[in-house]
């Protein structure tokens, strides 16, 4: 039986560029840790999507320096911002970062939308 040639499906949208994929990989890497995912969720669940670092250790059996390290990773990935108020640091979700992740996942799933 003769082998049929490969027939490529047509491209219906632009795939991720190398730069966009590298940037998103950094964000997904930051979110791949269960503690960081819990911390982001804990902040997002609060009014104004903001929480003091002192509030985030509740229910997480880690030292404050370890929690601060995880928050730093999330901040460096662009998922959180931080602001010092007196002796405490407050963390806030960056809604645009989460919207970007949601949009990429929707597009990659074929569900809807286009990348901005």
Position 103 scores a pLDDT of: 86
Residue 112 is predicted with a pLDDT of: 58
Residues 113, 10: Cα–Cα separation, whole Å: 18
Query: 60-78 pLDDT, tens per residue?
Result: 889 989 999 999 999 999 9
CB 102, CB 91: distance < 8 Å: no
- Under CATH, what is the fold of the domain 20-109? Arc Repressor Mutant, subunit A (1.10.10)
User: What's the pLDDT at 54?
Assistant: 85
Identify the pLDDT of residue 16. Answer: 84
pLDDT of residue 95: 94
- pLDDT value for 114: 47
End-to-end CA distance of the chain: 47
pLDDT at residue 116, as a whole number: 46
* pLDDT of res. 115: 47
The answer to whether the CB of 57 falls within 8 A of the CB of 67 is: yes
Q: Is 16 helix (H, G, I), strand (E, B) or coil?
A: coil
Regions of the chain short of the pLDDT cut 70: 1, 112-116
């Amino acid at each position: 039986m003769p082998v049929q040639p490969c027939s490529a499906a047509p491209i219906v949208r632009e795939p991720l560029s190398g730069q966009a994929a590298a940037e998103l990989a950094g964000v997904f890497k930051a979110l791949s840790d269960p503690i960081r995912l819990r911390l982001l969720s804990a902040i997002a669940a609060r009014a104004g999507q903001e929480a003091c670092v002192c509030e985030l250790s509740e229910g997480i059996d880690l030292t404050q320096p370890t929690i601060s390290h995880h928050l730093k990773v999330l901040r460096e990935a662009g998922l959180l911002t931080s602001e010092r108020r007196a002796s405490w640091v407050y963390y806030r979700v960056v809604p645009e970062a989460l919207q970007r992740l949601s949009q990429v996942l929707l597009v990659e799933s074929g569900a809807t939308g286009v990348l901005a």
